[in-house]
């Protein structure tokens, strides 16, 4: 990702951080590490490890009792699968390092600002505003270079290395994508996109 597209996280106070991306400010709170540790130690609760599938681990339906095999195995996608929109570097041991384009299986959304998830075999916390939900049939794509697409009469700029989500099949060399900041689908030439 180019430097001008990287979000910058700055600590504004003890409880809040600020994320800036090309002039857009998105509030990202401080990690809930200390509060959660105090709560868990006060209640003497032990959490067990969570074994959830990564995007690299496939769930195949192989327990069929049918004498005819399935024409092709299909992957069962969890309903809590998200794509990472921005790079995030962890500052605490219980946070996840995330790279734009990675997929995260979300485990806990109790805190609206910091979610817990699993990515590449690791479990940890990350800012909820850094991810977008992947629905069935959607896939994450990366913009190859900055382009302008039309949203009706309004031009929308997609930045180089930005992560977008394909929501429909290709038609006439274009696909419908959403940015993750909203659900509005934009037509974009497929030649300016690559799968992540």
Predicted pLDDT of residue 14 = 36
Q: What is the DSSP string of the chain?
A: --GGGS-EEEE-SSSEEEEEETTEEEEEEPPSHHHHHHHHHHHT--PPP-----TTS---------SSPPSS------TTEEEE-S-B--SSTTBPPB-TT-EEEEEE-SSSSEEEEEETTEEEEEEGGGEEEPPTT-EEEEESS-EEEEETTEEEEE-TT-EEEE-S--BTTEEEEE-SSSS--EEEEGGGEEE-
From the candidate CATH numbers 1.10.10.10, 3.40.50.920, 3.40.50.10300, 2.30.30.40, the one assigned to the domain spanning 139-195? 2.30.30.40
79 vs 37, higher pLDDT: 79
**Which pTM value belongs to this model?**
0.62
Q: How many CA atoms lie within 13 A of 146 on its CB side?
A: 9
- In terms of Cα–Cα distance, which of 78, 79, 80, 111 is closest to 94? 111
Sort strands 114-119 and 103-108 into parallel, antiparallel or unpaired: antiparallel
Residue spans of the domains in the chain: they are 3-50+76-133, 139-195
Does residue 38 carry a pLDDT above 50?
A: no
**Domains 3-50+76-133 and 139-195 alike in fold:** yes
Assigned fold of 3-50+76-133: SH3 type barrels. (2.30.30)
Give per-residue pLDDT as tens, 94-147: 999 999 999 999 999 999 999 999 999 999 999 999 999 999 999 999 999 999
Predicted pLDDT of residue 51 = 36
Structure-token match 């690559």, residue found: 194
């Amino acid at each position: 990702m180019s430097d001008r597209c990287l979000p910058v996280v700055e600590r504004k106070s003890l409880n809040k951080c600020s994320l800036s991306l090309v002039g857009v400010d998105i509030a990202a709170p401080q990690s809930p590490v200390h509060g959660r540790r105090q709560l868990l130690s006060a209640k003497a609760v032990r959490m067990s490890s969570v074994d959830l599938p990564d995007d690299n681990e496939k769930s195949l339906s192989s327990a069929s009792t049918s004498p005819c095999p399935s024409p092709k195995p299909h992957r069962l996608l969890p309903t809590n699968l998200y794509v990472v929109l921005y790079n995030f570097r962890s500052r605490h041991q219980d946070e996840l390092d995330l790279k734009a384009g990675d997929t995260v299986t979300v485990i806990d959304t109790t805190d609206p600002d910091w979610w817990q998830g699993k990515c590449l075999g690791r479990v940890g916390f990350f800012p909820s505003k850094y991810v977008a939900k992947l629905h069935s049939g959607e896939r994450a794509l990366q913009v190859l270079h900055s382009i302008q697409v039309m949203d009706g009469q309004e031009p929308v700029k997609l930045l180089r290395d930005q992560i977008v989500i394909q929501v429909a099949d290709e038609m006439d060399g274009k696909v419908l994508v959403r940015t993750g900041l909203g659900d509005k689908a934009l037509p974009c030439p497929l030649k300016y996109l690559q799968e992540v």
